[in-house]
Structures are given as C-alpha cells and as structure tokens.
Structure 1
Amino acid sequence: MNDNRTAPWAALILRLALGILFLAHFGLKFFVFTPAGTEKFFVSLGLPGALAWLTMAVELAGAIALILGIYSRIAAVVLIPILLGAIFTVHGPAGFFFTNPNGGWEFPAFWIVGLIALALIGDGKYALKPTTVRG
C-alpha cells in the first residue's frame, strides 16, 4: 500500500538524485575528459566514436528531464541502456565491487534499479510534466 502523503516526495527525491548523478557523469565526460577524450575512450573499447557523443547527449537530456520532471518515466527508461553499456563494456569485466580497479558493476546496476523504480513510481512532487497515472 502506498502512503499518498509521502510517496510523491520519495519520487521527487529519487528523481533529483538520479538526475544529478547523470548530470555529474555528463560533466565528467564533457569538462574533465573532454568530448574528444571521451570519444577516444569509446574507440579504445571498440565502440564507434559517435556513440560517445550520443551517450553525452542522452545523459544531459535525461538529467535535465529527471531534474525538472519532464516525462520522467520515459527519461528513466531511455537512460537504462547507457548504464547497461557501461556495465558490459567497462565495469562488468572489472568484477562486482565498484571499489575494484576500473570500478565493478554494482553501482551502475543499482543505478538501473533506481531508474526502474522511478519509471514505476512516476514523477512525484514539483514535476513540470507529470506522467503519474492517477487511479
């Protein structure tokens, strides 16, 4: 049973936390590694360089959508493949624990769980475009 008094606040907190995480990871790729460096890293993994640009664009757009509450459910689902890609190309081979060299897959997997939970819960409070189904 949902507590209708607190569930919208929980969804808001989850939406903001996930959005801020994606914004931080976009910022890392864009400002620290630089787009050219991120592209070079993707190529070193055997991926097309253009995928780096697509990843950054999806991370930025998804972060903004989550933070502002614009089609949050859709944004959450669209962001899952980004994390699956991170697991299967970088973090999966490093093992489970994120403290392993090159980071394990536990953090991106838990991040996916958060996105799935948000997709199921909906926007919560203060969303610009609520997508929560009301019954």
Structure 2
Amino acid sequence: MIDTRTAPYAVLVLRLALGILFLAHAGLKIFVFTPAGTAGFFASLGLPGWLAYVTIAWELAGAAALILGVWPRLAALALVPVLLGTIFTVHGAAGFFFDNAGGGWEFPALWIVALIVLALAGDGKYALKPTPAR
C-alpha cells in the first residue's frame, strides 16, 4: 500500500536528486571537460561534435525542469535518451559494473529506472507546473 501522506514528498526527493545529478553532469561537461573538450570526446566516439552542446543544454534544461517541478514527468522521460546514449556509446562496452575501466552501465541503467519511476509516480510535492493530465 502507498502512503498517500508521504508519497508526494518521496517523489519530491527523487525529483530533486535526479535534477541535481543531471546538473552535476552538465557542470562536469562545462567546467571540467569544457564544452569544446566534450565535443572532441563525442567526435572521438564517432558522434557529431555539435551533439555535445545539445547534450549539455538538454541536461541543464532537464535538471532545471526536475528541480523546479516544471512538467517533471515529461522531463524525466525526455532525459532517458541521454542516458541510453551513454550506455550505447561509452559505458556499455565496459560491462555491467561501474567500477570497470571506462565505467560500466549499471549506474546509467539505475538512473533510467529512477527516471521511469518518477514518470510513473507523478510530479511530487511543490511542482511549479505539474504535467498536464491526459
């Protein structure tokens, strides 16, 4: 049974945690690797360099949407392709465990599951603009 008194707060915690993680990963690409360095890395994977800039913007927009609660269910689903991209281009070949050389795909997969849980659970407490009802 779901506790309807605390469930909205649990979803809020999940929403904030996911938003902060995406904010941190976008910040890593901006401040540590630099956008140009990230574009070079994407190019080394056979991807167009401009996709790095789109990814950074997508992560920042998604993080803001999750943290502020602006259509968070849709934002969660929109962020899944970013993580699938990391699995199929970077972490997948390294195996399952994230402590493998090159990082495995267990952490991005867990992140995808958390985003899907958020999309299914609802917007949570203090969402500024809840996802429109169908």
Q: TM-score, normalised by structure 2?
A: 0.97
Structure 2: tracts of 5 or more residues without a match:
none
Matched with 2:85 is 85
| Kept in 2: contact 1:72–1:131 (CA 8 A) | yes
| Kept in 2: contact 1:124–1:132 (CA 8 A) | no
Supply the distance in 1 between the matched residues of 2:131 and 2:3 (Cα, whole angstroms): 18
Quote the RMSD (CA, aligned, Å): 1.0
TM alignment of 1:15-30, pairs within 5 A: 15-30=15-30
Matched with 2:97 is 97
Supply the distance in 1 between the matched residues of 2:132 and 2:14 (Cα, whole angstroms): 14
Supply the distance in 2 between the matched residues of 1:69 and 1:121 (Cα, whole angstroms): 13
Supply the distance in 2 between the matched residues of 1:125 and 1:78 (Cα, whole angstroms): 20
SS at match of 2:102: coil
Q: TM-score, normalised by structure 1?
A: 0.96
Matched with 2:62 is 62
Supply the distance in 1 between the matched residues of 2:127 and 2:81 (Cα, whole angstroms): 24
| Kept in 2: contact 1:123–1:132 (CA 8 A) | no
- Aligned partner letter, 1:95: G
Deviation at 1:2, TM superposition (A): 2.2
Structure 1 residue ranges, 4+ long, deviating more than 4 angstroms after superposition: none
SS at match of 2:123: coil
| Kept in 2: contact 1:122–1:132 (CA 8 A) | no
SS at match of 2:57: helix
Matched with 2:110 is 110
Deviation at 1:132, TM superposition (A): 7.5
**Deviation digits for residues 10-57 of structure 1, max 9, x if unmatched?**
100000000000000000001100000000000000000111011001
- The verdict on how the C-alpha distance between 1:2 and 1:131 changes in structure 2, with shifts beyond 3 A counting, is farther
| Kept in 2: contact 1:121–1:132 (CA 8 A) | no
Structure 1: tracts of 5 or more residues without a match:
none
Supply the distance in 2 between the matched residues of 1:18 and 1:31 (Cα, whole angstroms): 20
Instruction: Give aligned pairs, total.
Output: 133
- The verdict on how the C-alpha distance between 1:27 and 1:19 changes in structure 2, with shifts beyond 3 A counting, is same
Identity value in percent: 74
